[in-house]
Structure 1
Amino acid sequence: LDAFPQDPTRAARRFYPSATGFGSLAFEDLWPKKGDFDMNDLVVAYRSTEVLNAQNEIVDLKLTYEIRARGAGSDNGFGIHLPGVSRDAIDATATTLTINNQAPVALPVETGQTEAVFILSPNVTPLTATGQPFPCSMMNSVAKCPRTPAVPMELNIHFKQPLTTAQLGNAPFNPFIYRTTKRGLEVHLVDHPPTAKADPKLFGTLDDTSNPAQGRTYRTAANEPWALDVPETWRYPTEWNNVAGAYPNFIPWAVSGGTTATDWYVSKMVQPLIFQP
């Protein structure tokens, strides 16, 4: 049953959400403003593959992404943060990024960070350029526009020493976007920590009710998030359509803090407001 019979340091693989499926990340980039809340400023499919040794510790981590939509009017970067994992735990000589199936390139930990933070793209706009005039310059978010193939990205992270699951955490870890022209403006999943480069003065301003000292981050007063993690391929709203209109159970789910209507993303959908691939 050993997946690596010739390698004494590796024994098995563990996938999330599955060996062939994808989860979905969706971001609204106007934080700390609520914005149009269509949750399609960046939509990224993801899969995590952990390589384990015989002690069930993580030796390598492969993060597979596909940028499937970009409905943002601003330029944004895309990164991944491994909270609690020191930058010194990363084997920089063997950690690589592959974009669009090109040759892998070395990807160092972002400078100015004590923890492991990787910038997969400082600006996703050129990666997702459609070659069309506005509004079709946005990728796969406007119903009337031509469809654009997803942009594949693969990050292979190698650790100097194996990590336990408690040390590494669970997929999708801490993905985030940030304003290309304002590095401190980061958008993360609900209650996930900012990186050391986030601007703390933005918390608790405008529509945001974050209190990082209490572990509350990236929520409105009604608990609405600026980023979503859906454990399957998610059909996001078309441009300028609020996610609450496209998914009527979204607000009950958000207000409850995620305890009710947990299947909001499949239970009830207003099809005319949802992007058709």
Structure 2
Amino acid sequence: MKYKLLSLCLLSAGVNAAPFDTCPSKAFLVQGNTASIYGVNLVSGAFTEFAQNVGTNNKLNGFGFSLHDRYLYGWDYSRKDIGRVGKDYTLEPLNTIGFPDTNFYVGDVAIHENAYYVYRKGSSYGLYRVSLDETSNDYLQATRVINGGDLNLNIFDMAFAPNGETGMAYSVDSNGNLHRINANTGESTMLGNVGQSGTFGAVYFDIDNNFYISRNQDGHIYQVNIDDPADTQLFAYGPSSGSNDGARCATAPIIDESEDPTMDYGDAPESYGTSLAENGARHVVGDLYFGDGVSAEHLPQAQDDDDGVSFVTSIETGYDALISFTLSTNGYVNAWVDWNQDGEFQSSERIISELSGVAGENRVLIPVPVDALEGNTWARFRVSNNQDIAPTGGVDTGEVEDISVSVVASSLIESSTAWQTAAFEDLWPQKGDYDFNDVVVRYRATTGQIGNQVVQYKVEGALVAVGAGYHNAFALRFKEIARNHVNEAQIKLTVDGVESQTSPLEANRNEAIAVIFSDTREMVPTQEGCKFFRTEEGCSDIQRAPIPFELTLPLSTTYSANVATLDKLDPFIFAVDGHYHGPYVDSNNGRGWEVHLKNQAPTEAFDSSYLDQGDDTSSTNGYFQTGTGLPWALIIDTDWQHPKERVEMSIAYPQFVEFASSAGQSNVTWFENPVANYQYTISSASQN
């Protein structure tokens, strides 16, 4: 009898609250401690308030849209029971039996059956099913599928997929792990990580089985490929809230072409992210745009309305280019140019970032990278009320303009040093074995110059030998070049054929210091019976090839060729933190220990307490030399053959001591007069 009475009450309420007329394309979002309902356009993130108060004085959570009767269902916190919402956005209470005395905040209406599922972790709770089929014997009766100790997930919403295996709901936990939940059995499978974390309080599906997750903290909406969770991308910028829950008709496309178009898309080739399928750049058309106006479209079409942006000057590598753009009203402008012509806009190719533009004409001077490729490429300009946006994804205001541009090569003049060899003794401040093979690097430096201005450095070379048991890093200081004058986004360091994914510039420095080898000891191949790299006899083929590197260091602020001279390049080594480096070095302050050329001042990272210990007389005679003028670092202007392991320089090169003691005045060609068989060569390495 109770079930019949409930059915009569529900039917009576249904007369006053009609279901939705269609399966809406917009997503429903419920927010606030007193539930309000919004409609969210997933394409753009734009949202509209449907109801400020649905008739409850508390939260409404576990929101789901029923394909079976076109009502919204959710958990009413004020009653600790479920209710439904029709097209008048008023909550109708439903009276169920079988639920524990608690509130649920995760839920959805199934697609494969007319039933509502809610979940809460904890062994006293779990995943519950309640039938919404008025003709069934278990109508409005809640049964537990699995307890929340066995299904223990830190999730905040779930949604049923319209395609694939029936009865599968999906959710993303606070750590970004994607879970598939079998509603029939309660079993869950972790499918991978989406690369984002946070509270994903609203999740949705569309007809193409694309999964969308909305993060409470910032409103960012991500599109997730449930077959490959790593293929997750920022899709749109929606509303943020401390309390979020979402629902959507999962069989609806996210664009309703029966309605008037509202979107503006880009016009660049598809690889740049143009179509909706590729998460193309798109904006809701309104009163903020470039130029004279903007046209709305359902999907990208060739439109002749990109009239608000132009390059006033030619785009020449190594020079600044002047851009003009006109805005209808104030807004934030972001822009990108595909400098390397790879068919994508990279974050490092952003030319305008979060610029606060004003109504009318705006002009911006942007630097063109020295290594930008010559020829035709694409630029993308976006204006919106969102300050920081990506080159793709949806935004609820503004316009995107894609324009084809042509880059021309400048008359870049390159000047290079001869090939040089830098050799270091790493036992400073002790003289040690003095074999000058602890770190040996061969290199050549080149400046790129336009007119009288240096616009980039390039250093190429190889790690030739490591005869050290200690862990040393090898770095280059660009003296008198400020770190913040380097175009760090365009730096390129390749070591042994592998391009570094992080900047080689040391952080928190005033001068530009590029670390080429962060630990030379860890870089080199070793073989059984051999401790070092290219310094020992009997260590054969595996150790023969030096380890190449190439560094390109473009400058964002150019320097006069009289200032940025090649002789101001300062190669040096420093100790790697966390490793023993002799009795004079604190292993927790390895970076404070450096070895430079004789009379060369150390960097700002150097710890001066290391000076004047052991054999060092820096304060008396000049940096990094003994009392007789012997150095711990050398540069030789040739492809030098370094001494074998534990062969002192005075034995391998007898004229060196007088050269060093005379401050370079005597025996200037000492390196051309070795004693045979004391230098490392390939032939000596292969002797057994």
Matched, 1:227 2:633: yes
* Aligned position for 1:86: 482
- Structure 1's 167 and 215: CA in aligned 2 closer, same or farther, altered over 3 A? farther
1:15 paired with 2:420, answer: no
Among candidates 643, 651, 655, match of residue 245 of structure 1: 651
- Native 8 Å contact 1:238 1:273 kept in 2: yes
**CA–CA distance in structure 1, aligned partners of residues 561 and 611 of structure 2:** 30
Q: 1:61-80 residue pairs with structure 2 within 5 A?
A: 61-80=457-476
SS class of match (2:553):
strand
* Aligned residue among 533, 552, 559 for 1:156: 552
Q: Which amino acid aligns with 1:141?
A: T
2:423 counterpart of 1:26? yes
Partner residue, 1:264:
670
Q: Specify the alignment match of 2:680 in structure 1.
A: 275
From the two aligned structures, give the one with the greater strand fraction: 2
Residue of structure 1 in register with 2:332 after alignment: none
Give the gaps of 5 or more residues in structure 1: none
The answer to whether the 8 A contact 1:129-1:137 is kept is no
Q: Give the counterpart letter for 2:572 in structure 1.
A: F
Cα deviation, 1:237-270, whole Å, max 9, x if unaligned, reads: 000000111111101101100111111100x211
1:158-173 correspondence to structure 2 within 5 Å: 158-171=554-567, 173=569
Distance, in Å, in 1 between the alignment partners of 2:681 and 2:517 is: 26
Q: CA deviation at 1:108?
A: 4.6
Contact 2:494 2:551 in 1 (8 A): yes
- Which residue in the other structure is 2:449 paired with? 52
Alpha-carbon spacing, 1:183–1:104, altered in 2? closer, same or farther (3 Å): closer
CA apart distance, 1:103: 3.1
Going from structure 1 to structure 2, the CA distance change for 1:62 and 1:106 (only over 3 Å counts) comes to farther
Could you tell me how far 1:275 is from its partner in structure 2?
A: 1.0
Structure 1 position 31, deviation (Å): 0.6
The percentage of counterpart residues that share the same residue type is 28
Residues 155 and 172 from structure 1, CA distance in 2 versus in 1: closer, same or farther, beyond 3 angstroms?
farther
- Tell me, in whole angstroms, the C-alpha distance in 1 between the residues paired with 2:451 and 2:561: 14
Structure 1 counterpart SS, 2:469: coil
Of 416, 427, 433 in structure 2, the residue corresponding to residue 36 of structure 1 is: 433
| 1:274 maps to amino acid | Q
Check conservation: 1:94, 1:106, Cα contact below 8 A. Answer: no
**Structure 2 Cα separation of the partners of residues 206 and 272 of structure 1:** 31
Q: C-alpha separation between the residues in 2 aligned to 1:108 and 1:72?
A: 23
Aligned partners of 1:172, 1:36: CA distance in 2, in Å? 29
Q: Which of residues 183, 186, 195 in structure 1 aligns to 2:603?
A: 195
Supply the distance in 1 between the matched residues of 2:439 and 2:451 (Cα, whole angstroms).
Answer: 38
Give 1:223 shift.
Answer: 0.7
* Larger Rg computed on CA atoms: 2
Output the TM-score relative to the length of structure 1: 0.90
Q: Deviations over 1:160-180 (max 9, x none)?
A: 122123322324711111111
Is the CA contact (8 Å cut-off) linking 2:446 and 2:566 kept in structure 1?
no
Report the alpha carbon displacement of residue 48 of structure 1 after superposing the two structures with TM: 0.7
SS in 2 for 1:68: strand
Unpaired runs of at least 5, structure 2: 1-369, 375-407, 578-589, 683-688
Q: Report the 3-state secondary structure (helix = DSSP H, G, I; strand = E; otherwise coil) of the residue aligned with 2:549.
A: strand
- How many angstroms does 1:185 deviate by? 1.1
More deviation, 61-70/164-173: 164-173
Residue by residue over 1:33-65, the C-alpha shift from the partner in whole angstroms, topping out at 9 and shown as x without a partner, is 11100000011000111111122x211100112
Q: Is 1:100 paired with 2:501?
A: no
**What residue identity is the alignment partner of 2:681?**
Q
Q: Which of structures 1 and 2 has the larger relative contact order (alpha carbons within 8 angstroms, sep 6+)?
A: 1
Alignment pair present for 1:128 and 2:530? no
The residue identity in structure 1 corresponding to 2:444 is R
**CA 138–108 in structure 1, closer or farther in 2 if over 3 Å, else same:** closer
Do 1:23 and 1:45's aligned partners in 2 also have CA atoms closer than 8 Å? Answer: yes
Instruction: Please report how far the alpha carbon of residue 133 of structure 1 lies from its aligned counterpart in structure 2 after TM superposition.
Output: 3.0
Pairs within 5 Å for 1:131-146:
132-134=527-529, 136-146=530-540
CA distance in 1, matches of 2:438, 2:504: 26
Match of 1:186 among 558, 573, 594: 594
Amino acid in the other structure paired with 2:680: F
The match for 1:208 is 616
Which amino acid is 1:25 matched to?
Answer: A
The structural deviation recorded for 1:215 is: 8.5
Q: Secondary structure at the match of 1:254?
A: helix
Q: What is the SS of the residue equivalent to 1:233?
A: coil
1:143, 1:250 → 2: CA distance? 23
Q: Which residue among 109, 118, 125 is the counterpart of 2:505?
A: 109
SS of equivalent residue, structure 2 residue 651: helix
What is the CA distance between 1:104 and its match in structure 2?
4.8
CA distance in 1, matches of 2:562, 2:611: 28
* Cα displacement string for residues 101-124 of structure 1 (whole angstroms, at most 9, x for unaligned residues): 123534252123111111112211
SS at match of 1:46: strand
1:104 and 1:229, CA in 2 relative to 1: closer, same or farther beyond 3 A?
Answer: same
| Residues 215 and 54 of structure 1, relative CA distance in 2, 3 Å threshold | farther
Q: Distance in 1 between matches of 2:515 and 2:642?
A: 24
